[in-house]
Structure 1
Amino acid sequence: MAREFQRADRVADAMRRELAQLIQQEVRDPRLGMVNINDVEVSRDLTTAKVFVTFVGEDDRSKINTSMEVLNKAAGFLRSQLARAIQIRTIPRLYFRYDETSVRGQELSALIDKAVRADRKHQDDSDSNED
């Protein structure tokens, strides 16, 4: 019988929960705003972890880049804190990545809404021409 969850998946889930708390409570850099951790992908050999983040209310690309620099510089500190919280032999090296899926989703949603409005307007125009 195959295992339902891989070990890397369980480690990623534990890391996601702990990182959310650690970033909020331990990282004291004023350049860092509210951070959402969307996902953590841990390699099968548990050596690296990609942490996908977004920033609440942040649309300015320069501020996002600054926040990403802060997180990547704090990666060593966060890794050491994770080692205390999660009982595994080695903690994966952390690489923070900005997750653009939510931004892209909002753009696509806006395009769909625009297309629906244009279609309704086109339908209303054709209905009024039939009279």
Structure 2
Amino acid sequence: MSFRPERLAEAIKKEISDILREELKDPRIGFVSITSVEVSKDLRCASVYASVFGEPAQQKASIEALQKAHGFIRGELGRRIRLRYTPEITFKLDQSISHGSRIIALMEEVREKGGGQDE
């Protein structure tokens, strides 16, 4: 079994994070962090999962802005990571962080109400 897709996914995650922080100056892109990257076995496609801080409308606008900038980001990746083919990138909204915080808030609410136990 080859670990190349996993290594490439980590390299892409690091480089895209750097590109977003240093190169991309689009005001539509809010506070974005790259949470994970999945690369296909043939290394031709990469799904980049991004967590966006803010309201759902801001999250949608940030993901759309990232999709519009994917050509620039892919070109930068090609210059930074030496590959025969630079993977085609698609950005997807990762809602696991907001989902986790919602679960924690619900658990806190249940604990405050006594958790349904008789006292």
Give TM-score scaled by structure 1 length. 0.84
Structure 2, unpaired ranges of 5+: none
Fraction of identical pairs, as percent: 32
Q: 2:49 aligns with which of 52, 62, 68?
A: 52
Displacement after TM superposition at 1:24 (Å): 1.4
* One-letter amino acid matched to 2:110: A
- Single out whichever of 24-33 and 95-104 deviates more from structure 2: 24-33
CA distance in 1, matches of 2:26, 2:35: 21
Q: 2:28 aligns with which of 13, 28, 31?
A: 31
- The Cα RMSD (Å) is 1.6
Displacement after TM superposition at 1:29 (Å): 1.0
Give TM-score scaled by structure 2 length. 0.92
2:7 maps to 1:7: no
| Residue correspondences, number | 119
Runs of 4+ in 1 over 2 A off after TM superposition: 119-123
Structure 1, unpaired ranges of 5+: 127-131
**For the structure 1 residues 73 and 120, does the alpha-carbon distance in structure 2 shift closer, same or farther, using more than 3 Å as the test?**
closer
SS at match of 1:119: coil
Q: 1:42 aligns with which of 39, 44, 51?
A: 39
CA distance in 1, matches of 2:109, 2:27: 38
Q: Greater Rg, structure 1 or structure 2?
A: 1
